Amino acid sequence: MSIKKRILLSNIIMVFFVTGFMILFLFFMISIYTQGLFQPDVEDIYSNPSDSYNLSELQVVVQDVSSSVRKSGCDITKAKNYSSIRRFLKITKTALVIYEEGEIKYYSDGISKDSADSIINSFDFVNETEKESTFVYADNGTMVCRASVVLKNNSSAILYFVNNTADFQNDSSGISVFPNMEQSGAVKSIKYIALICIGALVLINLIIVFVISRSILRPLQLLKQGTKMISEGNLDFEIDYNGDDEISDVIDNFEDMRRKLLLSNEKQKKYEENRKELLAGIGHDLSTPLTSIKGYVSGLLDGVADSPEKQEKYLKTIYTTAEEMDRLVSDVFLFSKLDVDKVPFEFEKIDIGSYLEACSEELKFTFEKDKLLVSFSNRLMFPKMVFIDRSQFARVLLNIAKNSVKYKKEEVASLHIDVSCVNSDSTEMVKITLKDNGIGVPEELTGKIFETFYRNDPARTDTSSGSGLGLAIAKQIVNRHCGSITAESIIGEGLSIIITLPVHEEEKGDLVI
């Protein structure tokens, strides 16, 4: 779940919870306080009594009498409002009996002790459910109200209100219960409910904040550790985080950046190694011909070449060696430019079969004096169009041919060029195979022949075998053509160089020239 959705969901939960809490709280407050607001005042009831009353008025009178009994200890005659109570009972024709610990403590005017006993025996039909409670029984004009009161000495007193002419609202019958407001603890309950709800609100809020904070802070902490490790130069690590939020996308991008930096560092290290090897190879390959040139020049200066024939021989050797040095410097310069992508390529769409056939004819002529027999076979059923820089790809073929001449095992060498079509990952490719009959190289070394300054001569003593940059240059050029170059070889049976190039897909309207 996204962070945006988490925050929205947490806000919705908080809104609904607070709304529910407020509704619940208001419900209790209204149920309690409206009951108190709409109840009649006890003084109004006592001042203007009528011969009938309703449950609301009865509740007020019962609460007032219960309070007086609680304070006076069942001797209601000592209560300050006793006269008002007595007057109310007389006018409404309501009998009051106060009963405590098996003894009648008080019975109102108009009834006898026997009548009081009869009331207690006849209407003691409801068991107490709590220490202080009030039960009202009404049926066909007869009303009995039984109220329990806890006195100061912790004993219980029971008050009986009996009226045979009661006129209740809706003329309802049955038993109803209403609590003693002063001792029921309803207000305390509301306070407890409010405190519980507030506590629950705070707890839920803390839990939500903790969960959301953890879901955000944990991946941020991982990112912090990752950036610290990168700043220390350590790229060999991985951030393990599984999520489907925005931070997960950030971590994925961070991991992608880290992997690219790691790959870039590895390439940089490889580049530095190649550069060092390049400088070492240049220094080694230049030192040998320079030493030779110095030796022959010294011979000329010292008069060792004392005849015109010897002088001419020395000068030809110096010239030939200088040419070799010039070719080496040219190859190094070309390879350096290819390595930094500074060589311009002019690609054009050509028929690869026709192009290779023309190149093979040129190679026959070029290497005729070196006794290299070049042959060509085209196994393409249809012309295949490939984007090629003619001059640069011709250099690839030329360098491979030179390599075949350098490492031939017989006086006459052969190089066969074959072109065919293959499919690689559902992509049509042209496969060009150049196979010679030279000495070959060990199979485990076929990947190294494309490295800079590699020769099948670890000591690099045979300078006549070239600079060792020919196949490295060929690889750079093929890579620029979006192709690949590999080698296969068996010792004593020759070397095969395999080049693959992507075929251009013809579109409607394309013209093949």
Pairing of strands 372-378, 413-424: parallel
pLDDT above 90 for 230: no
pLDDT category at 41 given cuts 50, 70, 90 is confident
Q: How far apart are CA 344 and CA 197, in angstroms?
A: 77
pLDDT, tens digit, for every residue of 265-276?
888 887 777 677
pTM here is 0.48
Q: In sequence order, what are the residues at sequence separation of 6 or more whose Cβ sits closer than 8 angstroms to the Cβ of residue 361?
A: none
Tokens of 337: 């430019």
On whether the CB atoms of residues 409 and 472 are closer than 8 A, the answer is no
Q: What DSSP state is assigned to residue 92?
A: T
Q: Look at residue 372 in the predicted model and tell me its pLDDT.
A: 92
% residues pLDDT > 70 (the chain): 81
How many Å is the Cα radius of gyration of the chain?
56
Q: Look at residue 348 in the predicted model and tell me its pLDDT.
A: 93
pLDDT category at 131 given cuts 50, 70, 90 is low
Q: Look at residue 39 in the predicted model and tell me its pLDDT.
A: 63
Strand ranges of the sheet holding 156-163, from the earlier edge strand across to the other edge = 103-107, 95-100, 156-163, 142-150, 134-139, 174-177
Tokens of 487: 């080698």
Q: Look at residue 385 in the predicted model and tell me its pLDDT.
A: 93
Buried (b) or exposed (e) across 50-68, using 16+ Cβ within 10 A?
Answer: eeebebebbbbbbbbbbbb
Q: What DSSP state is assigned to residue 132?
A: S
From the list 424, 356, 350, the residue with the least C-alpha distance to 385 is 350
In 67-172, at which residue ranges do the beta strands (DSSP E only) sit? Answer: 95-100, 103-107, 134-139, 142-150, 156-163
pLDDT, tens digit, for every residue of 391-417?
999 999 999 999 999 888 888 999 999
pLDDT, tens digit, for every residue of 348-378?
999 999 999 999 999 999 999 989 999 999 9
Pairing of strands 348-351, 103-107: unpaired
Q: Look at residue 508 in the predicted model and tell me its pLDDT.
A: 37
Average pLDDT, whole number, for the chain?
79
pLDDT category at 464 given cuts 50, 70, 90 is very low
Cα 245 to Cα 5, 7, 78, distances in angstroms: 9, 12, 77
Poorest-pLDDT segment among 171-185, 326-340, 393-407? 171-185
Q: Look at residue 1 in the predicted model and tell me its pLDDT.
A: 60
